[in-house]
Chains A and B, each alone.
Chain A
Amino acid sequence: MSASRSTTRIPRRTVLKGAVAGAAVLGFPLPLRAQGPVFKVGVVHPVTGPLAEPGQACRLGATMAAEAVNAAGGIKSMGGAKLELIFGDTQTKPDVGRTEAERVINQGAQMLMGSFDSGSTAAMVPVVQQRRVPFLVDIAAADPITANVAKAVKEGQQKVQYVYRNFPTGSSFGIKAVQYFSEVFKEAGVAPKRVVLMYCNDLFGQNNAKGFQAAHAAAKPSWDIVDVIPWPEPPQDLSTEVSRAKAARPDIIAPITRPASAQLLLPELRKQRLEIMGVVGPGSPGLYESGQLAVLKDDLEFVMASTPWANFKNPRTQKVAEDYQKRSGGKTFDTNSGYSYDGIFVIADVLERAKSADPDVIVDAIRKTNYGAGLMQYAGPVVFNELGDNPNAVTTMIQILGQKPVAVWPKEAALQKFVFPRPKR
Chain B
Amino acid sequence: MSRRVDAWLRLVAWMVPGDVRREWLREWRAEFAWRQARAVRTGRTPGGQDVWYAAGALPHALWLRWDRWRFDMLWQDVKHAWRALRRRPGFTALTLVTLALGIGATATIFGAVYAVLLRPLPFPDADRLVQVMETSTRNPRGMAVSPPNFVDWRRDSRSIRGMAAIASSNYALGGDGRAAEQVSGAQVTGDFFDVLATGAQWGRVLAPEDAAGQGLDVVVLSHALWARRFGSDPATIGRRIVIDGTPREVVGVMPRGFRYPLESDIWLPLPFSEEELTTQRGAHYLDVIGRLAPEVAVEQARADLRAIGDRLAAEYPRWNADESADVEPLRDVLVGDARDSLMVLLGAVGLVLLIVCVNVAGLVLVRAAGRSRELAVRRAIGAGRGALVRSLLVESLILGAGGGILGVLLASWALAAAPTLAAVDVPLLDQTRLDGTVLLFTVGVSLAATVLFGTAPAWFATAGLDMSASMREEGGSTTADPRRQWWRGAVIVIETSLAVVLLVAAGLLARSFARLTQVDLGFATSDIQTFTITMPDGTYGQPAQRAALVDELLARIAGRPDVAHASAIFGMPLTDFSYGISTTALDGVRLADARQDELSVQVRVVTPDYFETMGIPLVRGRSLTAADRLGRPEVAILSEAAARRYFPGEDPLGHHVELGTRLGQGGAPVGGQIVGVVADVRDRGRASPPRPTLYVAHAQFPVGFVTVAIRSDGRPAAVVEPARQVLEALDRDVPMFRVRTMAQLASHAVAQPRASLVVIGVFATSALVLSALGLYGVLAFAVGQRTREIGIRRALGAADGSVVRIVTRHAAGLTAIGIAVGLGAALAISRVLRPQLHDVAPTDVVTYAGVALLVSMVSMVATLVPAWRAARIDPLMALRHD
Partners in one complex: no
Q: Could you tell me which B residues sit within 8 Å of A by CB distance?
A: none
